[in-house]
Chain A
Amino acid sequence: MARTTCYMCACRCGIKVHLEDGKLRYIEGNREHPINRGVLCAKGSAGIMTAISPARLSTPLRRIGPRGCGSFEAISWDEAMGIATDRLAAIRASDPSRLAFYTGRDQSQSLTGHFARMFGTVNFAAHGGFCSVNMAAAGLYSVGGAFWEFGEPDWEHAKLFLLFGVAEDHDSNPIKLGLGTLKARGAKIISINPVRTGYSAIADEFLAITPGTDGLLVLALIHCLLEAGRIDTEFLIRYTNAHHLVIDAPGAPDHGLIARDAAGREVCFDRASRALLAAQTVGTDPALSGRVMLPDGRYARPAFALLAERYGDAQYSPEAIAARCGIDAATIRRIAAEIAEVAFNQPVVLEQPWTDTAGREHATMTGRPVAMHAMRGVSAHSNGFHTCRAVHVLQMLLGAIDTPGSWRYKSPYPKPIPCASAPGRPRVPGGALDAPPLGCPRGPEDLLVDEAGEPLRLDRAFSWDAPLAIHGLMHMAIARAYESGPEKIDTLFLFMSNMAWNSAMNPGETTRMLTECDEHGNYRIPFVIVADAFASETVAYADLVLPDTTYLERHDCISLLDRPIGSAHGPGDAIRVPVLKPDRDVRPFQDVLIDLAGRLELADFADEQGRPLYSSYADYMVRHERKHGVGPLAGFRGEDGLARGKGEPNPRQLERYIENGGFWRYELPHEQRYFKHANRAYLTGARTMGLIDDDDQIVLQLYVETLQRFRLAAEGHSPTRPPERLRERIIRYFDPLPIWYVPLEEALSDRARFPLHAITQRPMAMYHSWGSHNTWLRQILSENRLYVHQDLAAELGVADEDWVWVRSRNGSLRCQVRTMRGVNRDTVWTWNAIGKRTGAWALKHDAPEFGRGFLLNHIISEYLPKQGDDAPHSNSDPITGQAAWFDLTVSLERCATPGPEETSPRWDANPLRIRTAPEDTR
């Protein structure tokens, strides 16, 4: 029996893997593991079948036919590594950014990102841009943490739980454990979601909201709370910037910024002394309303006053927004009252003394037991950043951030706002970047743009197109590589990402771009390397395939430098260990990347003589130091293995992890478990562990000044300013307070023609594409249907199992219908990534996934409709570049004539055909 970490999805649960005669016998949850505490989901249990999946790649491959047709020859690893090294070395010698390196839901971004940084390419990102960057960015810029990865509800104490846009996934076991805990305690769960399945099924109240209007609902709730005076003013002045004075001087270069004193400290107006004081001064009575004259004679207003004025307005009243949200006004008012009731009349008081950053000692920890969680459904709209901001603002107004019963930070969060590192830029030609390629811009000066304000990055992240694209725009990588041509991008290096199918916003366009040639017959995207464990749809489009192992055959680290397994109870990280020996000629991708980096003699991967520093990922995990004493693994550091967070590398570190069940966890003392953003003991401890660089209070940003900096630049008040075509857009969307607008694609679509919303979600049993071909999971779902509200179906004359055409401005698809009641009346939806391309995933030609499954992506586009002469914008959030999957609008029509009983579009099969080399050439 071995204890390792699951990888059937991104949840990082601890598993116990039992072997019998060297074969996998049973995988179960590890009861000691902090993430899953012994439970395991359907995917995790099905892992034993993924480990023997026929879709596993078995040898390195070189393309021999036209790209996309699936013809390859098997080659040796020596040859494969030689090809990759030569190609990348040549790129590096010219312009390292001609390598575009994009990874999927991998959990080794601290390695892949570091590779990109040392290689010197700005063109690196992982899947966050098409997943939930709105959530991450809004959280990091508002509260220094975020839902899911960096925060969790206080399941033990919450009495009211609001779940926005999460039906079945993100995350898997922890949220189920949490919901079970809430249920056992009799807490109320309200699900705000167009679709009532999964978690929404057990919600005590389900609000079938119209997609893209969650922000409006939240702002209406805020309106009601303001109206009733039910907000936590003490929390606001102590922990947020509500009382910070915002300069009110329209047209001035600092209009809308926070007023600061000579020492550069933000100021507030102290009603006790009737003076402007540093906002963080202790013992003041700061004003939250009114208007104050600054020493220079200009006026300023507390941030809260701006907020109250905006959301107090009748345009945010429930009555004004009810129709748009599809939720009646009385319900919204009742829910606001329930929130207020729980927050203010039923506080949770823990008899736990603690000391805040101002030095005040508190006898108890008192919290507002209203917890919230939000994910993809909120995130995947082009107004998602502001929607998510609105949720955080609601939390702040209630005093429901990291207090007992509310939403809590998962260690190592909170982090300073915005995070410490701006996106890396090339330092010297051919050299490394000056920082990791992904970071948080603090203002226009941190953008990656040229003198004309045009993007440096391929995907236009950190440009005026998407200034806060802190996870990059992976969904645009192929389209932009195609657009910019071979001069800009030579090699597209994809790891664990199905970019030619369900991860492409439009697979048809994407595969066209991957296969299109110029007039000389050269591919417009010259070279494509794909590293993956399975024969996904994307593998057929590779020129070179580097076969990865499964998660049971390799080392991995779930690092604090990436997205660890921390919880509100303390930081933690974990490893994967090989349980099985690969039975085919594959290598762990991380080993391959380290090998490649060594061959390329990248700094931090090779010594001065160009000799590789690390023999394997396992070796790297133990010996690599990002900065002194800080490495991929935080536990059992130092010679004696006793140091946590910071410490010398420990050669026995992996053994210690294995002894400890494959993970390390530090339990925070009870006094550090809440108010982490202003908890003296916590912040000091976190600094000592190397989790944060300084232990100042992290002031929550009710009002995000950073956004205003971009807006001012667009108004011409900065040396770095957007190109003319983007000015209005920046001014409009970079509002320091949450705004709501009709999602971009929806606003540009002809709603008379396309009156319905169309969204997808992942079924709980398979919320990652690499698991959905699993023989057990596909026994559960091997086809998908389009779910339609019964009333809508009746209106359209459509019944269960009828074939329909779904049309959008981008195209049409044919599929079958299933009717239901628990869905927003004007929304249709389906399971994502059940539909597969004929021939992929080693399924037989008559597999239902091919002819009965379908992918909504075929009628989505990565571009918005063209407006005027400008090139079309990407179909993304204008702030973060988040892919706006759920902005899609469609029409539905019963198939008039009986066509073939098959979903469409259905493409020609392109199964992998592999020519093996004769024995003697091996």
Chain B
Amino acid sequence: MTMLPERAPGAKKFGLVIDLDTCVGCHACAVNCKEWNTGGEAGILPDYDQYGAQPDGVWFNRIHSYETEEGGCSRTVNLPRSCLHCEDALCVTVCPTGASYKRVEDGIVLVDTDKCIGCQLCAWACPYGARELDEKAGVMRKCTLCIDRIHDENLPPAEREPACVATCPARARHFGDLADPESEVSKLLEARGGLDLLSDLGYRPTNKYLPPRRATIPSAPAPAPSPDGKGLGAALLKLLDKALSR
């Protein structure tokens, strides 16, 4: 059903919190995602022209690099881009077949590839470019938040997180229930403030991004050059004068 579900009281809101202050842009999440969500040689996330002129394929997660200026501060920002599991997911409501849906119990947006007709309207409806067509199977593909991991009772509890989160070497990616104010992700958001991508468009994304910060060290003003230009100034001589004990 492509109507967006009413949020039931107590329902979970699973999502990612991605720390732009920590993401080094290494593509680890993107590749591990592709690996988990494909079957190796028998892959279900297709690749096209693997060793030729236009190497391409379906990925659920893509890593961009930007140079930004904000408040007089210039920096390089790496941005992993994937499905944000929006609360107002237009990709769901435009779907004519019901293949695209948002789960009632945890808010994850999924595609039922058995129902998808490959009309691609959902991809058009997504402002984040998070849906990619599987041109071999003719169905739309997107991030599942690793639904086959997070609910897999056979996995140890610590491993029940999306592959991108488990593999992130800088630990810039966090997964949890954003509806639960006591969850780690909620606390992180509380402490750091979360960014919505394209907030004006009103999709109300579930995934949040933590803004880059700038740590500083308040310190005494730097000493001015010593008057004679010799570093062996009074401070050092005084220091060297002190008795030592080896």
Residues of chain A having any CB pair with chain B under 8 Å: 20, 23-29, 31, 36, 38-46, 48-49, 52, 54, 159-160, 168, 172-173, 176-177, 179-181, 183-184, 186-189, 196-202, 204-206, 223-224, 226-231, 233-234, 237-238, 243, 271-272, 281-286, 288-289, 308-309, 311-314, 316-319, 330, 333-334, 336-338, 340-342, 358, 764-765, 773, 775-780, 782, 820-822, 842-844, 846-848
Contacts and interface: CB of A to CB of B under 8 A. Distances in A.
Contacts of A341: 217-220
A832 B227 CA distance: 47
Given A227-B226, A229-B236, A822-B74, A48 B244 contact: no
Contact of A286 (B25, B39, B220, B246): B246
Contact of B167 (A24, A40, A228): A40
A844 B215 contact: no
A43 B67 CA distance: 25
Interface string B232-244: 1111111110111
Contact of B22 (A52, A159, A179, A188): A179
Most interface-central of B57, B169, B226 (chain A CB within 10 A) = B169
A238 B222 CA distance: 28
12 contacts: A41-B28, A183-B170, A198-B26, A201-B24, A285-B243, A285-B246, A312-B230, A319-B225, A765-B31, A773-B51, A775-B55, A780-B30
Interface of B: 19, 21-28, 30-32, 34-36, 39-42, 47, 50-53, 55-57, 59, 63, 65, 67, 74-78, 158-159, 163, 166-172, 212-223, 225-226, 229-240, 242-246
Contacts of A196: 75-76
B120 to A, nearest CB: 21
Given A45-B32, A46-B35, A204 B246 contact: no
A340 to B, nearest CB: 7
Contacts of A780: 27, 30, 63
Contacts of A316: 231
B169 A28 contact: no
A273 B30 CA distance: 67
B24 A29 contact: no
A563 B7 CA distance: 55
Contacts of A776: 31, 34-35, 47, 57
Contacts of A48: 35, 40
A177 B243 contact: no
Most interface-central of B28, B59, B213, B221 (chain A CB within 10 A) = B28
Contacts of A765: 26-27, 31
A36 B65 contact: no
A227 B235 contact: yes
Given A46-B31, A223-B231, A227-B231, A176 B215 contact: no
Given A233-B242, A285-B245, A201 B32 contact: no
Contact of A779 (B57, B231, B237): B57
Contacts of B19: 183
Contacts of A205: 214
A27 B215 contact: no
Nearest to B63: A780
Tell me the dominant secondary structure on chain B's binding face: loop
A39 to B, nearest CB: 4
Contacts of B221: 337
Nearest to B224: A333
A309 B236 CA distance: 11
Given A40-B169, A227-B226, A776-B31, 4 more contacts: A204-B213, A229-B233, A312-B232, A779-B57
Contacts of A272: 243
Contact of B223 (A26, A202, A333): A333
Contact of B74 (A29, A233, A308, A821): A821
A41 B172 CA distance: 13
Contacts of B215: 186-189, 204
A201 B25 contact: yes
Contacts of B231: 223, 226-227, 308, 311-313, 316-317
A441 to B, nearest CB: 30
Contact of B67 (A189, A282, A821): A821
A820 B67 contact: yes
Given A233-B244, A333-B222, A341-B220, A45 B28 contact: yes
Contacts of A24: 40-41
Contacts of B213: 204
A847 B53 contact: yes
Contacts of A229: 233-239
A226 B74 CA distance: 32
Contact of B51 (A25, A186, A234, A775): A775
Pairs A-B, 3 closest by C-beta atoms: A312-B231, A229-B235, A314-B229
A283 B245 contact: yes
B24 A337 contact: no
A847 B159 CA distance: 38
A224 B223 contact: yes
A44 B29 CA distance: 11
A467 to B, nearest CB: 31
Contacts of A231: 236, 239
A224 B224 CA distance: 9
Given A41-B26, A233-B240, A330-B222, A847 B52 contact: yes
A277 B77 CA distance: 57
Contacts of A43: 31
B223 A842 contact: no
A184 B32 contact: no
B39 to A, nearest CB: 7
Contact of B30 (A42, A200, A226, A243): A42
A183 B223 CA distance: 29
B239 to A, nearest CB: 4
Contacts of B242: 233
Nearest to B221: A337
Contacts of B244: 233-234, 237, 285-286, 288
A202 B21 contact: yes
Contact of B76 (A188, A336, A822): A822
Contacts of A188: 215-217
A317 B223 contact: no
Most interface-central of A330, A779, A842 (chain B CB within 10 A) = A779
A167 to B, nearest CB: 10
B118 to A, nearest CB: 22
A628 B162 CA distance: 48
B169 A177 contact: yes
A289 B244 CA distance: 12
A226 B229 CA distance: 12
A345 B90 CA distance: 55
Contacts of B239: 229, 231, 233
B156 to A, nearest CB: 9
Given A288-B240, A333-B222, A199 B52 contact: no
B45 to A, nearest CB: 10
Contact of A197 (B25, B42, B235, B240): B25
Contact of B53 (A204, A336, A779, A848): A848
Contacts of B36: 26, 28
A205 B41 CA distance: 44
Nearest to A229: B235
A733 B188 CA distance: 52
A331 B218 CA distance: 14
Contact of B246 (A29, A176, A237): A237
A253 to B, nearest CB: 29
Contacts of A846: 52-53
A180 B230 CA distance: 40
A201 B77 CA distance: 6
A230 B223 CA distance: 11
A333 B224 CA distance: 8
A271 B159 CA distance: 61
Given A775-B55, A820-B67, A238 B246 contact: yes
A895 B232 CA distance: 54
A252 to B, nearest CB: 26
B171 A184 contact: yes
